[in-house]
């Protein structure tokens, strides 16, 4: 399956899932924990420019806005963005949402202090392209925040795709912290720092091994 076709199917899948997604989402069930982890991992003093790539229903975008930052976010799924917009409005938070795939988002290079990608890499035809986009968007010294997990450990709890689509996604099974560190390095980032120790246990059903990493653009 070609990358463009795969990406279109991924976007359609999440639009179908969108109405019920937040009912089972970790960032909703454990909202305070996720907010505390992002607040620590951002290491931000004062108001920062944050870009959330593959925002979904707005998990990182809404937290960043609640922390007082200026936030822009994109996603290829109109259905997920509709939920994110509703959540932002309900919380009285200002987030500039853009309907766009990560590689096609219109954000200016060097316009962000922080870029977030939470549970995004596993669902992309080209995850390295997303990390390179994050690197491009960041100012020198800016921080990329990446969180994901090894979802194949607990298949009964995970979101998944039709077999043909899944086979076209190189990280469909998820990824480990070590793999993510290697990818960040290959994308041009400095040494990564882990933050998942701030969770008392995995925030996902089935004790999925997960990670939260930050790295700076040198």
Q: What is the pLDDT of residue 6?
A: 86
What is the pTM (predicted TM-score) of this model? 0.95
| SS3 assignment, position 117 | strand
Angstrom distances, CA of residue 181 to CA of 137, 139, 217: 19, 20, 14
- Average pLDDT of the chain? 93
Angstrom distances, CA of residue 183 to CA of 91, 110, 199: 35, 20, 23
Q: What is the pLDDT of residue 29?
A: 64
Cα–Cα distance measured from residue 108 to residue 30, given in angstroms and rounded to the nearest whole number: 33
Element (H, E) at 112: strand 112-118
Q: What is the pLDDT of residue 25?
A: 63
Residue-wise pLDDT tens digits, 99-148: 999 999 999 999 999 999 999 999 999 999 999 999 999 999 999 999 99
Residue-wise pLDDT tens digits, 32-75: 999 999 999 999 999 999 999 999 999 999 999 999 999 999 99
Q: Residue 2: which pLDDT band, with cuts at 50, 70 and 90?
A: confident
């Amino acid at each position: 399956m070609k990358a463009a076709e795969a990406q279109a199917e991924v976007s359609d899948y999440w639009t179908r899932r969108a109405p019920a997604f937040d009912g089972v989402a970790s960032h909703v069930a454990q909202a305070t924990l996720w907010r505390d982890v992002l607040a620590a991992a951002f290491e931000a003093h004062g108001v920062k420019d944050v870009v959330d790539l593959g925002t979904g229903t707005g998990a990182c975008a809404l937290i960043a806005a609640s922390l007082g930052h200026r936030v822009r976010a994109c996603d290829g799924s109109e259905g997920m963005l509709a939920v994110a917009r509703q959540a932002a409005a309900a919380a009285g938070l200002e987030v500039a949402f853009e309907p766009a795939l990560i590689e096609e988002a219109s954000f200016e290079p060097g316009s962000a202090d922080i870029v977030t990608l939470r549970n995004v890499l596993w669902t992309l035809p080209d995850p390295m392209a997303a990390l390179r986009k994050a690197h491009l968007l960041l100012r020198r010294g800016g921080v990329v925040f990446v969180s994901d997990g090894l979802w194949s450990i607990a298949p009964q709890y995970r979101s998944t795709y039709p077999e043909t689509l899944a086979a076209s996604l190189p990280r469909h099974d998820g990824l480990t912290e070590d793999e993510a560190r290697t990818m960040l390095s290959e994308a041009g980032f400095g040494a990564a720092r882990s933050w998942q120790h701030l969770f008392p246990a995995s925030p996902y059903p089935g004790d999925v091994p997960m990670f939260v990493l930050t790295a700076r653009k040198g």
